[in-house]
Structures are given as structure tokens and as C-alpha cells.
Structure 1
Amino acid sequence: MLRAIVTDIEGTTSSLSFVHEVLFAYAARHLPAFVRAQGQAPQVRRLLEGARQAAGGGLDDAGLVEVLLGWMREDRKVGPLKALQGLLWERGYREGHFQGHVYEDAARRLGEWNARGLRLYVYSSGSVHAQMLLFRHTAHGDLTPLFRGYFDTGIGGKKEPESYAAIARELGLPGGEILFLSDVRAELDAAAASGLRTACVMRGEGPEVDPGPHPVVRSFDDLAV
């Protein structure tokens, strides 16, 4: 029996172009001024120090900003960077610069699954804060009440089987009662290695990937859930 669904965001519930061309671009434009203005605030200072350590130390704030911008271009999954992006995006959502993009089929089906009692969760490399911001500020309204919880790389990397085993333990469910949705083969392989059910969401927005043994769907409407 399926009891829970864990979904990726980028390319799965939400457009790749929104994440890269809107969110990442906004963070890159505003990061230098944000660090100059807010760099001494305790929360921001902690994140900058964490990023400085990840970069090997020895950088002033201006040099660190250049490293952070490089990590953004490379889409590096560095915790302090993701948290700083979340702070920047919070301002962007609050000031109405953009809305969180969620595909219509994803918003509708998530609502249906929640109404049926399925437990819904998010697992993304973006910070939990950033995940909640995206789902709170959508054209479909605030979708955060649909989810029971959120996971980021604090629980482990998305291509590591142990991360999915840890999620299953957090949910208190055997892997066979959890469905993981993603557009990334390595993530699906890792989830399957920990006993989770999987489905590869291929929306045709980016290059076609080899789904391997994972069932393929083109939208959430194709999921027999």
C-alpha cells in the first residue's frame, strides 16, 4: 500500500527554467549588495562563515562573494550557499518580483492526494526555507498546507541511498510504502536502492535522460496513484 509521496522540485513539480532563469538569476544579481548591507547580521554572518570554511578560508567578503557566484553558476549543492539564496528569494517573493512556479497538474494532483490521506513531502537540494517559500507563493495559492514535511541536503545528498533510508526512518514507513518522484536518474537509483518506489518525471523541458528501470511519466496525471 502506498502511504507517502516524496517529490523533488526542479524539473518535477516546477519548471527548470524558473529555477535557473528566475531564482538563480535573481540571487546572483542581488547577492553582492545583500552581503554589503546585511553581512554583519548574525544569521547572515554565520552563513558567510560556513561558506568561507567550505571555500578553504582566507577570503574577505568580496572574495567570498565571487566564490559564491561561481558556485551558483556551477549549481553547487553547498548548504550555506543554499541558505543565503533562500534569504534573497524571501525578499523577492515578499516584494512581488516573482511567484513560485508549480505545474498545474502537480498542484492539482498534490491537492487530490492530500485529500485522500496520502502523506506528502518534499526533498530538494534547495534549503527547506527556500522550498517552503516556493510552495507558499504560487499562482495556485499557498500549497504548503499540503505537505507534512520538507527535506534538504541536511539529511544527506540526493544521490546517496542512505539519504532515502534516513527519510524512510523519519517517516516511520517501509520503503515500499513511499513513492519518490524526480527527473534525475541518479536520484531515482539511490531511492530504489533503499527500497523506495520510484517514478521518473520527464516533462520534455530539458534533454531526455535515460530513465533506466524507473517508470516514466510526462505529468503527475500519468501517475496511477
Structure 2
Amino acid sequence: MSYILCDVEGTTTDIQFVHQKLFPFAAQRIEGFFKEHPTQLKLSANALSCSKEDVVLKLKKMIEDDVKDAELKRVQGLIWKEGYSSGKLKGHVYGDVLPAFEHWVASGYRIGIYSSGSIQAQKLIYGHSVAGDLTHFLSDHFDLGVGYKYEASSYQNICLKLQMEASDVLFLSDVEAELDAASSVGMKTVRLFRDGVEETAHRFAEDFQQVQKLLDQESF
């Protein structure tokens, strides 16, 4: 095994950061963003097949309902980029992430990220994190372009892009269904329980230090 694939929310990053910080930041900024960038408003109106007047309300409703929509993610990404660049946003990562990334890369592992959030959003979180710029530790980023995270074919697509056997990849996530899909194609899996252990069919860890212990024990 030579590759560690990480989920974002609930794995490297507190899920509350996304839902209580990033989403509200975009929702509050979206109207002003379009006033300052009328070309973007026109692009969104075309993409959403609605009038310019309805764009803001439609996107805000999507944010409220946590809809996985490509145009919403594009606009959110632009707004978040401004926020990160201005210093108003800092990407949350747990305190064990930086030392784990450092150790894994030094030990010869490659690290990748797979999230329903766009690749741009991933790079912003890790590029402007509270632990500094972590992007140089990351070899690859995957989003819904390879498929939905609950579908086995998505993990097959990742292996094809990596040109690796599934058995050479360890997937870390806090979501059982994602791990089920990954293991069904042959990936190794560990479920992260950042807020207390629950029943799971997978190996589990409460933090990346425990993941490292599993790696040290060669239990895969």
C-alpha cells in the first residue's frame, strides 16, 4: 500500500467549518459579489436557466438545502477564493493533520483528497489552512468529476487515474457508505470517528495518530 486517499469533512476538517463558516460566508456575500461582478451574474443566469433577478434567491435556496449543484459550487468557489485571499477565511484542519501529512510523505506515501466539494474549494482549504499551506503534501485532488462518493465506480475511476491497483490505496473517511463503496472495489479503509466511536464494519480510528498506529502495525 502506497497511497492514502482522504475525505475532507469529518476527516481532515471539522464538518462544522463547512456548514457553519463556508456556506454562510458565501450566502451572505453572494448578492454583493454579483453586484461587483455582473458578468458572473449573467453566467449564472444562463447556467441556472433563470432570470438575473432570480439567481441570488435560487443559489441561496440551494445553499440552504445543501444541493450539490455545479454552478453553485463554481460561484461559492469564487467567493471563497476572495475570502481566503483577503484573510477573512482560514481553512480548518485538525491539529493532527499536518504532522500526519509530514510523516506520511516522508515515509513514501502519496496523499490525495476526494471530496464532493470542488477541486478548487479543496485547494483553497488546504492552501490557506490554519496550519499553513498544506498543498505541497498533496499529489492529487478528486471531486464529483470522478463520480458520487457512494458509488463503487467512482473509486474505480480514481484508481484508473492513479494507474494503481485498488489494494494499494487506503481511503480515510467518516462516512460508512463511502467506505463500503471503496472497499467493494478492493481499497483498504479506515473510518474516522472524530466525535465518538459508533458501530462500523471497517477498521476505525479517532484521529490520524491512531491511523498511524494501524499503519505501523501493518494491519492492512
TM-score (norm 1): 0.89
Task: State which of 83, 97, 102 in structure 2 corresponds to 1:106.
Answer: 97
Partner SS for 2:96 = helix
- Is 2:212 aligned against 1:221? no
- Is 2:40 aligned against 1:49? no
Residue of structure 2 equivalent to 1:32: 31
Deviation of 1:46 after TM superposition, in Å, equals 4.0
Deviation of 1:32 after TM superposition, in Å, equals 1.6
Instruction: State the number of aligned residues.
Output: 213
Deviation of 1:45 after TM superposition, in Å, equals 4.5
- Is 2:165 aligned against 1:168? no
Structure 1 CA distance for aligned equivalents of residues 53 and 185 of structure 2: 42
Deviation of 1:121 after TM superposition, in Å, equals 0.3
Overall identity of the aligned pairs, in %: 36
Partner SS for 1:133 = helix
2:80–2:89 contact (8 Å) kept in structure 1: no
Q: 1:4-53, CA deviations, whole angstroms, 9 ceiling, x for partnerless residues? A: 01101111100111111111110010012212321314xx6445533x1x
Q: 1:79-125, CA deviations, whole angstroms, 9 ceiling, x for partnerless residues? A: 22112111111111111112111111122101110111101000011
1:120–1:147 contact (8 Å) kept in structure 2: yes
Partner SS for 1:104 = coil
Partner SS for 2:39 = coil
Q: Which amino acid aligns with 2:207?
A: S
1:185–1:209 contact (8 Å) kept in structure 2: no
Structure 1 CA distance for aligned equivalents of residues 104 and 75 of structure 2: 32
TM-score (norm 2): 0.91
Q: Which amino acid aligns with 2:24?
A: A
Q: Which runs of no fewer than 5 residues in structure 2 stay unpaired?
A: 216-220
Residue of structure 2 equivalent to 1:151: 142
Q: Which amino acid aligns with 1:73?
A: E
Q: Per the alignment, do residues 68 and 139 of structure 1 end up closer, same or farther by CA in structure 2, a change over 3 Å counting?
A: same
Residue of structure 2 equivalent to 1:67: 58
Residue of structure 2 equivalent to 1:79: 70
- Is 2:9 aligned against 1:10? yes
Partner SS for 2:8 = coil
Partner SS for 1:191 = helix
Q: Which amino acid aligns with 1:49?
A: N
Partner SS for 2:100 = helix
2:42–2:52 contact (8 Å) kept in structure 1: no
Structure 1 CA distance for aligned equivalents of residues 209 and 3 of structure 2: 17
CA RMSD, aligned part only?
1.6
Q: Which runs of no fewer than 5 residues in structure 1 stay unpaired?
A: none
